[in-house]
Structure 1
Amino acid sequence: MRKLLFILLFIPFISLGQKDYFNELVYADSLIQNNQIELAYSQLKNLEKTIPKSDSLYDYSKIYLIDVISYLENNSRLNEDFSKSLEYGLEALDLLKKENKLFNKEFAERKPYMIKNIAVSYSGLKDYKKAKKYKDLLYKAYKHKTLPEGINEYFNFDFFKLDDKNIWGYEWFEELPKDRFSTSFTKIVYYIYSTNPDGSDKDQLYRLHVIMFHGKNENFDYVMDKRFETETEEIEGTMYSFIYKEDIDFEKLHNDVIQIVKKDIQSDTKRVRSKDSQNSKIEIEL
């Protein structure tokens, strides 16, 4: 998080107006440096009620408030406190919309990331209809080519912890090809990680891909694939018990992932590719 005091030292004191907003911001900064983020949030919220737009510190107070809210949103979401992360996410998004003219391009690009975070929170609360509403905003921006790099091809839509694992769901914007034999196509990937003592990601254990079914079937369009890597090989296998229509039921998908991880369900087939060769050895297991 940026050092507020460093920024404020470059602002002439003569422009600070009658109220000592400078000291209030410095106090908020001191709370942050001492990891008292929630107290800093309260301090900045109180300042928000009093500082006028005409004050030279108004812009800085808003930017800093959004930084603090974003930190609290992220921390709540990663701790699966989705009600709180949703509250912070909606507040941050509202500020980003209202104060859009204050921010440079880099700062304004945080808006789609916050929309993504809100979708994750709604998914965490099992409110998939509202999650879709915010995902649709991202799809609209994708079609208009207004998404910044880093979220312009895919986005995180789901996150949860299961025992000693972190599970991240990512969705690709590209739509299902009409020609089912034209290319390989992945719509969703769930990344399964082991965790460090502090709960952060450690090692990627395997991935669950929702891939296009190469063929015509009235009952499904996608099928689940389980994939992992060793030092020398990439190993893949299809799980035909887990199938999905083009309009994916994300609640079912979420529950399927839980089932696969909890029961350590293995693939029905096995495909092995050597990392140092273009050749593939394919084994079929019934």
Structure 2
Amino acid sequence: MPMNMSPGEQKRAKNIIWTVAEDYSVDPAFVSADEKSRADFYLNLIVGLAYKWINREKLSTLFLLWEGTSFRELYDGILWIALEQCLYEKELPYRPVLQELRLAYAKRLVGLDAWFAERNRITMLQVAKAQKILGQKPFLMPKDARLLEALEFSGSLTDDQIIDRFKGIIATYFKISLTSEKNQAGGWNRDGLALRVIGQEMENSAQEQKLLLMFTDASPNDEWGISAFAQYTGKAAVEDVQAEIRSIEKKGIKVIAVFMGSDRNTETAKAIYGDSFVRITHIEQLAEALGAVIQKRLHVV
């Protein structure tokens, strides 16, 4: 959400945080704005609860582990998703109105269409979380669905358990070890390798017609890399995926990609998948979008 808040809205956000934290000496490291750059009442309430329930030094130390890195926004975002659940459960017995406030926040977030224009992983996870709050079933890639489930932090967790569990999530889903030393990253997201394995498995199938349906953001980049291997980003990554798709197609396997990425990756999707991809922005579009391209690829009349 936009953060270009006016001084008045920043002051309002801090007042919410101070009131909930029950401490006006707090200097909030985070304030939250809604889609109109106004102080977001519910999210700033959650920030205040963080200062109320969690040891400030421990929490600040955790956030500082990725301070100044290119992943700051991502890690900040997913940590707040986890903290929201945990703090909501801790505070609810003392503040029953939280349930109503939480539902109102979730309805507002799910009702926004603008988030598709600035589609990114954090925004998708936030909206998916809001859908779960409302009892709806979110549509996410399997890896993100597992990540969101892992971010369901119970209100019974202690400060140290919160920190240890979050470090475990980063290690599991992002191959990063969060320590006070310089972080060392492992490789991930090498789409060409995944396609190679899938192609080998499907080649051995006895089915007459074979169709590989992919959900993709058209960003096959291993931006952190593995020191023993060449960097897997940009043109090299795209060409690797293109080569694997050609190899799969030669085995009689038809490839169709469902593109759910941002506008900036549309040309990359075209370069990789040609006319064998469809783009959707809402899950409701999936069946209609896929129908025509499946008929075309499988030559169904």
TM-score (norm: length of structure 1): 0.27
Greater C-alpha radius of gyration? 1
Higher percent of residues as helix: 2
Higher percent of residues as strand: 1
TM-score (norm: length of structure 2): 0.26
* RCO comparison, higher one (Cα < 8 Å, 6+): 2
